Amino acid sequence: MKNWFTKIKTYYNWGSRFLNNSYHSSTKARIEEEINKKPFRTELINYLLNSFGEKQTVYLEIGVRNPEDNFNHINANEKYSVDPGIEFKENPVDFKITSDDFFNQLKLGKILNPAIRFDVIFIDGLHIAEQAERDINNSLQFINEDGFIILHDCNPPTEYHAREEYCYDLSPAQKYWNGTTWKAFVNFRKRKDYFSCCVDSDWGLGIISKKIKFGISNKIENNFYEYSIFNLNRKECLNLISFEEFNNLIINKLM
């Protein structure tokens, strides 16, 4: 009896610590704010594909999970999907391999045609900086001169969303996870030979282009990738802009 009472008391104490914890409640509010932002990734990808007008567009998605969530709703003339099937067992994709294997086989001419060039590549595979950086660099070799690379999850609202460990869902971010993709994007943004920005929606949609002048490169010093420095300088690190601002930049390109 005493044992049960102690157990219940422990559960109660821990439960109320979680429920009344200010880090948990403020993070919950940030999650609500983020999931209500628009447009979602699918709309933004289709918007960019549409900007090519009559051209026959070619689309590549790295990391697909359930294609009903995004891939099946993308309007391109030719589409390819890559996923090793970690999160969705059915895994109905074109290439059931990792992005590294995909690009290696593509370079060797073992799949598709190594001369293929994509108009839009959506990178949404393993959300760890080192992998995201490799995905960006490989994608740069296969993107058309006027194409767009889109990187999901570049704008984690809190350090809990930016944790390395995906499976731990008792943090204030709960099951929401952006991983460390932001580091790869912020680092890439130092380059002066590409333009980049991040549309402030759907956890941060990082966009890379060779042609469209999205703004200046990232000059913030953050050698150790501290989340607090990123957070203080978020706008400049990411070139964080609203969809309306982004739309104006794209419209100017079309005129």
Residues near ligand SAM (CB under 6 A) are 41, 61-65, 69-70, 82-88, 98-99, 124-126, 131
Least Cβ distance, residue 75 to ligand SAM (angstroms):
15
Cis status of the peptide bond prior to 39, with omega within 30 of 0: yes
Least Cβ distance, residue 85 to ligand SAM (angstroms):
6
SS (H, E, C) 43-68: HHHHHHHHCCCCCCCEEEEECCCCHH
| Between 152 and 195, CB nearer to ligand SAM | 152
- What's the rounded Cα separation, in Å, for the pair 103 and 245? 33
Token pair, residue 131, equals 């992998």
Which residue is closest to ligand SAM by CB? 63
Q: Please state whether beta strands 195-199 and 205-209 pair in parallel, antiparallel, or not at all (unpaired).
A: antiparallel
| Between 206 and 218, CB nearer to ligand SAM | 206
Least Cβ distance, residue 45 to ligand SAM (angstroms):
9
| Between 63 and 172, CB nearer to ligand SAM | 63
| Between 181 and 218, CB nearer to ligand SAM | 181
Inter-residue contact 169 to 157 (CB < 8 Å)? no
Least Cβ distance, residue 96 to ligand SAM (angstroms):
10
Least Cβ distance, residue 35 to ligand SAM (angstroms):
14
Counting Cβ atoms within 10 Å, is residue 233 exposed (0-12), middle (13-18) or buried (19+)? middle
| Between 135 and 200, CB nearer to ligand SAM | 135
| Between 93 and 241, CB nearer to ligand SAM | 93
- From 186, 210, 212, 180, select the one nearest 198 (Cα to Cα): 186
Least Cβ distance, residue 62 to ligand SAM (angstroms):
5
Give the angle 146-248-38 at the CA atoms, nearest 5°.
95
